[in-house]
């Protein structure tokens, strides 16, 4: 079924207005031109070139191995397929933590070389000075709190964050500090729905949840997860809208069988 929506460019001000107007924000990931085209045509508001590409595309164990050059490769490819959605690039591990100057330089590369329109940065108060500087020079920033995958070793895994009252209060304070620093939106990952609701109600900027319940102002999933392409694990918060890995595997098996039995190509597929 095709999606009929008014074709308009989604910009940072549009995303901000969507919260005020009560319109939920739909965000998904892409790492190549074809996927980007399909998402863009389907009415997705934000396309995130996530560092998750290191896992679902390059086979890394986690996101820590992803480099700036890998991310720039993905962003350039996605840019070619996007005409409508807001394109956001993930800042990979160690691309912004060393210094504000290095963070500014790498964020600028995503806009200048990759064609992104905003960057996403994990972390709370510690990254606020960088966010302030980026916004000051015209680079929009999306924040990211809760389970921040680049801190997986610090957390000891991918568990739910913010269940304890002390941590929940810290997340609320850090969300406000990120808003004050100038982020235009905030991803909340794998935190209790009640906490996400409190944070969303206390902020003027939109929140985008992933494993954070239904009270956020928008939702994001890794496209390969929701399509059933990435089968190594299935988080509770992922809804599988397709089983493409199964479909593709069956197609490959049928192709191999047809070749082995000399059923492909037939006369109609030959010149």
Say yes or no: 192 and 267 in one domain: no
Kindly state whether residue 257 falls inside one of the protein's structural domains. Answer: yes
Q: What share of the chain is helix, strand, coil (3-state, %, to 5)?
A: 45, 15, 40
Kindly state whether residue 49 falls inside one of the protein's structural domains. Answer: yes
pLDDT single digits (tens) 172-221: 999 999 999 999 999 999 999 999 999 999 999 999 999 999 999 999 99
CA distance 140 to 124: 16
- Judge whether 122 is annotated as a binding position: yes
- Judge whether 164 is annotated as a binding position: no
Say yes or no: 213 and 265 in one domain: no
Share above pLDDT 70 across residues of the chain, in percent, rounded to a whole number: 96
Kindly state whether residue 2 falls inside one of the protein's structural domains. Answer: no
- Judge whether 136 is annotated as a binding position: no
Say yes or no: 107 and 29 in one domain: yes
Say yes or no: 207 and 249 in one domain: no
Output the CA angle 149-152-214, nearest 5 degrees: 45
Whether 148 has a pLDDT exceeding 90, the answer reads no
Claim: this prediction has a pTM higher than 0.75? yes
- Judge whether 169 is annotated as a binding position: no
> Which residues form the domain of 261?
244-271
Measured in degrees and rounded to the nearest 5, phi and psi for residue 47 equal -110, 120
Ramachandran category for residue 94: left, alpha or beta (phi over 0 → left; psi -120 to 50 → alpha):
left
- Residues recognised as catalytic: 189
CATH of the domain at 117: 3.20.20.60
Whether 4 has a pLDDT exceeding 50, the answer reads no
Say yes or no: 92 and 27 in one domain: yes
Give me the pLDDT at residue 7, please. 56
pLDDT single digits (tens) 154-171: 777 677 888 999 999 999
- Work out the end-to-end distance of the chain between its first and last CA atoms, rounded to an integer number of angstroms: 35
**Least confident span in 42-51, 182-191, 228-237, 246-255:** 228-237
User: Total structural domains in the chain?
Assistant: 2
pLDDT averaged over every residue in the chain: 94
- Judge whether 132 is annotated as a binding position: no
Count of CA atoms in the C-beta half-sphere (13 A) of 128:
12
CA distance 130 to 181: 9
């Amino acid at each position: 079924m095709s999606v009929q929506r008014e074709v308009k460019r989604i910009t940072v001000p549009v995303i901000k207005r969507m919260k005020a107007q009560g319109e939920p924000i739909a965000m998904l990931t892409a790492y190549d031109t074809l996927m980007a085209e399909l998402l863009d045509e389907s009415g997705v508001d934000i396309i995130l070139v996530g560092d998750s590409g290191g896992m679902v595309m390059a086979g890394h164990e986690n996101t820590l191995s992803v480099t700036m050059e890998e991310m720039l490769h993905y962003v350039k490819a996605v840019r070619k397929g996007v005409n409508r959605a807001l394109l956001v690039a993930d800042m990979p591990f160690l691309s912004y933590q060393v210094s504000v100057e290095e963070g500014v330089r790498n964020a600028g590369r995503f806009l200048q070389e990759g064609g992104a329109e905003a960057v996403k940065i994990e972390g709370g108060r510690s990254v606020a000075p960088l966010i302030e500087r980026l916004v000051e020079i015209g680079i929009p920033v999306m924040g990211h709190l809760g389970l921040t995958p680049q801190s997986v070793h610090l957390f000891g895994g991918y568990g739910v964050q913010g269940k304890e009252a002390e941590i929940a209060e810290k997340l609320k304070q850090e969300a406000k500090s990120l808003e004050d620093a100038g982020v235009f939106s905030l991803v909340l990952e794998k935190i209790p729905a009640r906490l996400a609701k409190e944070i969303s109600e206390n902020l003027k900027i939109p929140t985008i949840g992933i494993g954070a319940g239904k009270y956020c102002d928008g939702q994001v999933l890794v496209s390969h997860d929701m399509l059933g392409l990435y089968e190594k694990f299935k988080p509770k918060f992922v809804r599988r809208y397709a089983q493409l890995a199964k479909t593709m595997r069956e197609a490959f098996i049928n192709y191999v069988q047809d070749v082995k039995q000399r059923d492909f190509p037939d006369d109609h597929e030959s010149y």
